[in-house]
Amino acid sequence: MKLGEIGKRLKCQLRGDPEVEIHGVAGIDEAGPDQLTFVSNPKYYSHIPKTRAGAIILSPEAAETAIPTLLSSNPYLTFAYAIELFYSPPAPIPGIHPTATIAETAVLGENYSIGPNVVIGEGVKLGDNAVLYAGVTIYPYATIGDNFTAHSGACIREYSRIGNNVILQNGAVIGSDGFGFAPREDGTYHKIVQSGIVVLEDDVEIGANACVDRATVGETRIGRGTKIDNLVQIGHGSQVGKDTVLAAQVGLAGSTRVGNRVMLGGQVGAAGHLTIGDGVIATAQTGIARSVEAGQTISGSPEMQTSLWKKNYILMHEFPELVKTIRRLEKEVKELRNER
């Protein structure tokens, strides 16, 4: 596709030759002469002179370059659209595969792709344009909106309520039993029936092998537009806000309240019965043991302000020397005091 045509489709102003032939997209360091690349973060501008890319997507604020350039106020988003010009995954096969098992009382929408060995239980309601890959299991009475995609091995437990445009990656589990056990007098445990549900609002994506537990009573809720990465654990009764991003291997203990536009880095853990305010950012491996006010940036286990944590980290490199200094000072001060 010619760069001029790409610019038109992406609605970008073009600086340079519209006749450059582009056959795909690639990262700044990997792109070749027939590929389109981008730089969004100014700290990577230094890579531009070295790129072999045939064209680049840049913000109008970036310095001009000899490479033909598509101008965008949001180069990363424009790059995302550019990928869609050159690639689409294999189309799902329409209809119902003969090996699927669908309960008579299940209600399907229009225009579906239901793959081999899919199981849909009693009373399930499924919206339009559903794509269920092989082996997806939907337990009884789950209700699911339009444009649902579930990859192979994903399962949705009884009574789950799923909105529109939700995507489940392979092996994701929605509505597994919350981890609740009441101790008996003799030290053994009685399993607490988990009578609540999971609600996934519109535009949620859940990563591969991630787990969202059903509530003991009431609901576990993931808010509109929130994105959850692979191997994340959402404990029962947690409430996650809208447009929040949970990176891989995050764990929320249970009854954890997470606000809107929060970003939790990889392997972050949060204790139960606490509140993480809107816009909080926690760097990777943070352990959140207390409620956190909106807008904070936190790190460490347990958590502290990231600025403090960074200072401490640098100073910890001197810690053994500091201890020696303290010991020496102790001795010297004692001498001085004895000399009085």
As annotated, the active-site residues are: 236
Is there a contact between 140 and 103 (Cβ–Cβ < 8 Å)? yes
Taking CB under 8 A as the rule, does residue 182 contact a copy of itself?
yes
- Would you give the DSSP letter of residue 199? E
Helix (H, G, I), strand (E, B) or coil at 37: strand
Instruction: Give every CB contact of residue 136 below 8 A, 6+ residues apart in sequence.
Output: 115, 118, 119, 150, 151, 152, 153, 154, 155, 156
Q: Which is nearer to a copy of itself, 8 or 316 (CB)?
A: 316
Is there a contact between 146 and 129 (Cβ–Cβ < 8 Å)? yes
Segment near a copy of itself (CB under 8 A); pick from 13-21, 59-67, 104-112, 223-231: 223-231
Taking CB under 8 A as the rule, does residue 248 contact a copy of itself?
yes
Is there a contact between 55 and 28 (Cβ–Cβ < 8 Å)? no
CA-to-CA distance for 331 and 120, rounded, in angstroms? 77
Q: Which is nearer to a copy of itself, 112 or 139 (CB)?
A: 139
Is there a contact between 157 and 136 (Cβ–Cβ < 8 Å)? no
Taking CB under 8 A as the rule, does residue 140 contact a copy of itself?
yes
Supply the minimum distance, in Å, between the C-beta of residue 108 and a copy of itself: 17
Helix (H, G, I), strand (E, B) or coil at 149: strand
Supply the minimum distance, in Å, between the C-beta of residue 110 and a copy of itself: 23
Among 6, 51, 129, 133, binds a copy of itself (CB under 8 A): 133
Question: Per DSSP, what are the bridge partners of residue 251?
Answer: 233, 269
Taking CB under 8 A as the rule, does residue 108 contact a copy of itself?
no
Taking CB under 8 A as the rule, does residue 4 contact a copy of itself?
no
Taking CB under 8 A as the rule, does residue 14 contact a copy of itself?
no
**Tokens 């996934």 label which residue?**
200
Taking CB under 8 A as the rule, does residue 122 contact a copy of itself?
yes
Question: Per DSSP, what are the bridge partners of residue 176?
Answer: 213
Q: Which is nearer to a copy of itself, 19 or 184 (CB)?
A: 184
Taking CB under 8 A as the rule, does residue 134 contact a copy of itself?
yes
Taking CB under 8 A as the rule, does residue 1 contact a copy of itself?
no
Question: Per DSSP, what are the bridge partners of residue 197?
Answer: 219
Supply the minimum distance, in Å, between the C-beta of residue 238 and a copy of itself: 11
Phi, psi of 298 (to 5 degrees): -130, 160
Taking CB under 8 A as the rule, does residue 47 contact a copy of itself?
no
Is there a contact between 21 and 31 (Cβ–Cβ < 8 Å)? no
Count interface residues toward a copy of itself (CB under 8 A). 121
Is there a contact between 1 and 8 (Cβ–Cβ < 8 Å)? no
Among 34, 108, 243, 274, binds a copy of itself (CB under 8 A): 243
CA-to-CA distance for 173 and 210, rounded, in angstroms? 6
Supply the minimum distance, in Å, between the C-beta of residue 2 and a copy of itself: 20
Taking CB under 8 A as the rule, does residue 339 contact a copy of itself?
yes
Segment near a copy of itself (CB under 8 A); pick from 2-10, 53-61, 106-114, 136-144: 136-144
Taking CB under 8 A as the rule, does residue 57 contact a copy of itself?
no
